[in-house]
Structure 1
Amino acid sequence: MKPEFSVSLMCMDFLDIKHQIEILDQNMDGYHIDIMDGHYCKNITLSPDFMKACARMAKKPMDVHLMTTNPNDWIDACAAAGAAMISPHAETINTDCFRTLNRIRDAGCQVGVTLNPATPLSYCKHYLNRIDVLTLMTVDVGFAGQPFITEILDKIAEAKRLREENGWHYKIMIDGSCNKKTFKRLYEAGADVFILGSSGLFSLDVDLQTACDKMKAQFEEETGVKP
């Protein structure tokens, strides 16, 4: 499977949104939209209104990461704003997960689910056959720039093994500290989609096109795979 790259827009320069999206459209596979409610994690980031503005110019799909205590409050608004895929946290949907996953599908979006670093894969094992994307956090939720949690590599490998043994089809997406220092380990463990933020993209150069070129060169250098 060819590696894919989704850009975390919470890390972009908000004074230069239009120009940056024009560049990212030419270099990346999608946009990662972090929605935090200030309750599930102590931060507030993007919103469905922000998504609507981006959808007017972005040519690549938006995937939504719901870091919210009540994800069902956000599904319809995010779908209406242009989400291609919506991922609530497994930890927030345990009491009504099948209704929630069905609601995302009925809204016309691909279905994802996200696991915090300390949450075992077994927590969502009984519905892995129903999802399109499994997002594994390699940092704790809430803030960009956190250090990589190496213990997650075993979880990535386990997710890949379960997918192969059962014939499931979900992609394995990695959220947190995807950069030159981790590309090789993540790719070899089984990652399919890499979410790029500050360390993996935006801090590489003040010129975003140059930063994109550097990221691609770093990924190929570390993994031997051309993006």
Structure 2
Amino acid sequence: MARQISLNPGSLRIAPSLLSADPLSMSDSIASLNGTHDWLHVDVMDGHFVPNLSYGSALVGALRKAYPDEVLDVHLMVEPPESFIESFLDKNPDFLTVHVEATPHLHRVLSRIRERGARPGVVLNPGTPVDAIFPVLSMVDMVLVMSVNPGFGGQSFIPETLSKLVDLCRLRASRKLSFLIEIDGGVGAGNVAEIVRFGADVAVMGSAVFGTDDPGKTVEKIRKIALEGSKI
């Protein structure tokens, strides 16, 4: 059974990406947030769908054991996701998101994620239009818009992806749906106000948070900027 997590659009949820945390002392990196964050984002890369390798289901299991109250947002950059999801679902993530580009069986994969008690999400690469996920929007609790090409941290934000946030907000309203809109890639203090105005509910940030001297204070600063930006 999925844990109770608000899906209501509103104040921005900040999800630091553990891809940018210190891999030799991840617990210290999480502690450096001082509880200022909302979720923890886990990027999983297979070296096939994207040109890099990163963490597997063992990390998700360790995080769930060590931080039972954290919202674990797991982003699978793997192909095909149906070969991976069971091992991750065994570790009780809150959200498990898969790429529309990675499988011809997206409906089946999303159904299985829901069946196993996690919240399903679908991901769009920068070059993939929103209409690619029209058939499954009613099945998901989150749509993740990639604002960089997936596979590496520290890339520059692709501004053309902002229009997808607007399109998703309109679709959500017109179809009376309740999915969250997440954005990942090149997000930080310099553009967080803009992404909030365009409709993002969740912002994933890696180096913009963990690459600073005080990640906790950085999250507080970014949240303040986002709040002020939403009032403009």
Instruction: Give me the TM-score of the superposition, normalised by structure 2.
Output: 0.90
Paired letter, 1:203: G
Question: 1:39 Cα deviation (Å)?
Answer: 0.4
Q: Is the partner of 1:194 in helix, strand or coil?
A: strand
Q: Tell me the residue number matched to 1:114.
A: 123
Once the two structures are overlaid, the 10-residue window that deviates more, 13-22 or 78-87, is 13-22
- Distance in 2 (alpha carbons) for counterparts of 1:8 and 1:211: 14
- Distance in 2 (alpha carbons) for counterparts of 1:65 and 1:156: 18
Paired letter, 2:169: K
- Distance in 2 (alpha carbons) for counterparts of 1:141 and 1:38: 11
Q: Tell me the residue number matched to 1:125.
A: 134
Paired letter, 2:201: D
* Correspondence for 1:61 among 58, 65, 71: 71
- Distance in 2 (alpha carbons) for counterparts of 1:14 and 1:211: 20
Asked if 1:204 corresponds to 2:212, the answer is yes
Asked if 1:20 corresponds to 2:42, the answer is no
Question: 1:169 Cα deviation (Å)?
Answer: 0.8
Q: Tell me the residue number matched to 2:3.
A: none
Q: Tell me the residue number matched to 1:43.
A: 52
Aligned ranges 1:64-213 → 2 under 5 Å: 64-93=74-103, 95-199=104-208, 201-205=209-213, 207-213=214-220
Question: 1:181 Cα deviation (Å)?
Answer: 1.8
Question: 1:23 Cα deviation (Å)?
Answer: 4.3
**Which whole-Å deviations, capped at 9, do the CAs of 1:32-86 have from their partners, x for residues lacking one?**
1111100001100111111122222223111111101110111111111221111
Question: 1:25 Cα deviation (Å)?
Answer: 6.5
For these two proteins, the number of residue pairs brought into alignment is 222
Q: Is the partner of 2:58 in helix, strand or coil?
A: helix
Asked if 1:219 corresponds to 2:221, the answer is no
Q: Is the partner of 2:94 in helix, strand or coil?
A: strand
**Which whole-Å deviations, capped at 9, do the CAs of 1:133-186 have from their partners, x for residues lacking one?**
000000001001111111111111001011111101110000111111211221
- Distance in 1 (alpha carbons) for counterparts of 2:229 and 2:171: 26
**Which whole-Å deviations, capped at 9, do the CAs of 1:97-152 have from their partners, x for residues lacking one?**
21111111111100100000000000011111111000000000100111111111
RMSD, aligned CA: 1.7
RCO comparison, higher one (Cα < 8 Å, 6+): 2
Question: 1:221 Cα deviation (Å)?
Answer: 4.9
Paired letter, 1:75: I
Structure 2: give runs of 5+ residues left out of the alignment: 1-9
- Indicate if the aligned counterparts of 1:135 and 1:175 stay in contact, CA closer than 8 A: yes
Once the two structures are overlaid, the 10-residue window that deviates more, 108-117 or 98-107, is 98-107
Question: 1:224 Cα deviation (Å)?
Answer: 4.8
For the structure 1 residues 212 and 183, does the alpha-carbon distance in structure 2 shift closer, same or farther, using more than 3 Å as the test?
Answer: closer
- Distance in 2 (alpha carbons) for counterparts of 1:139 and 1:155: 13
Asked if 1:52 corresponds to 2:61, the answer is yes
For the structure 1 residues 41 and 15, does the alpha-carbon distance in structure 2 shift closer, same or farther, using more than 3 Å as the test?
Answer: same
Instruction: Give me the TM-score of the superposition, normalised by structure 1.
Output: 0.92
